[in-house]
Amino acid sequence: MGIIDFRLRPPVLGFLDTLMYNAGERRDGFTRTVGFEPSLAAQQQSMELLLKEMDDADIEHGVVVGRRAGMLGSVSNDDVLHIMQTHGKRFIGAASIDPTSRRGACDTIDQAIEQGFKLVNIEPGAYPVPMYADDRRLYPIYAHCEDRGVPIILMVGGTAGPDLSYSDPIRTDRMLADFPLLKVVVAHGGWPWVNEILHVAFRRPNLYLSPDMYFSRMPGWEAYVKAADSFLADRMLYASSFPFCPVKGYRDWFETLPIRPENRRKLMRENARALLGL
């Protein structure tokens, strides 16, 4: 049974217009900062090389995230659907929504579910008009996902908005309390608020953490490791955040971490399978 990489951005279609690909020197600088050499698949923008790298790393599925992210770049749901249809079950789609239209967002979610998308991606602080995670304009959208049983990916870590307040874990905590049946994956692991988001995860059983590239030798990463091998073993998700980290190099490094084998299997396979209903 192969690994599920919960954040993987292929070098095709709209992804090539985003900052992670059109600013390659910036991307590769970050890759080296966190201790890896850049992936040739990223540098050459080669889907063929990415698929080989996934094979070499035993990645069975990659979660591909649509986004409406202003300066970071946008990737349409049509592009994500094309990737899903072209490569069969290899890629799992997370659909993006326009948060300024409640009805339009809910219609998009329903259509995406029918098309085979498994999640909805919401990036509050990265929208053209930035929002906080507990912005009441998002609440009808959260409620719709909760009612439909659709998990969401919530980007409230890393470069989550114009300033650090947009990754404030208190706002995420409030939202999780208001929607206790909504399963929420916090992308980038809520970094840099590591201890704070781990406390939120301790008290909110509907929170899943995916630290992805911030798991790798960034300040506070040791606390993620301890949580992954203890109370959060059932709700931590493995993700390379390719192209920022190489798929194969990240997997090789991840398996050196002091996480017990049974918990490593949960992080790399079983938790994502249960969350996605695979």
Whole-angstrom distance, CA of residue 66 vs CA of residue 221 = 27
* Phi, psi for 135 (deg, rounded to 5): -65, 130
Residue 267 pLDDT more than 70?
yes
Question: DSSP label at 268?
Answer: I
CB 39, CB 21: distance < 8 Å? no
CA distance 148 to 117: 13
What pLDDT is attached to residue 101?
A: 93
Cα separation, 26 vs 48, whole angstroms? 23
Q: How do residues 2-48 score in pLDDT, each as one tens digit? A: 999 999 999 999 999 998 999 999 999 999 999 999 999 999 999 99
User: Per the structure block, which two tokens stand in for 56?
Assistant: 């070499």
Residue 270 has pLDDT above 90, yes or no: yes
Give the pLDDT confidence score for residue 216 in this predicted structure.
84
Residue recorded with tokens 């979610």: 109
Contact 210, 7 (CB under 8 A): yes
Can you give the pLDDT at residue 264?
Answer: 97
Averaged pLDDT, 191-199: 97
For 132-180, what is each residue's pLDDT tens digit?
Answer: 999 999 999 999 999 999 999 999 998 889 999 999 999 999 999 999 9
CA distance linking residue 31 with residue 15, whole number of Å? 18
Q: How far is CA 169 from CA 67, 121, 278, in A?
A: 21, 18, 29
pTM above 0.85, yes or no: yes
Higher pLDDT, 276 or 66: 276
Q: What does the pLDDT look like over 208-225, one tens digit per residue?
A: 999 998 988 889 999 999
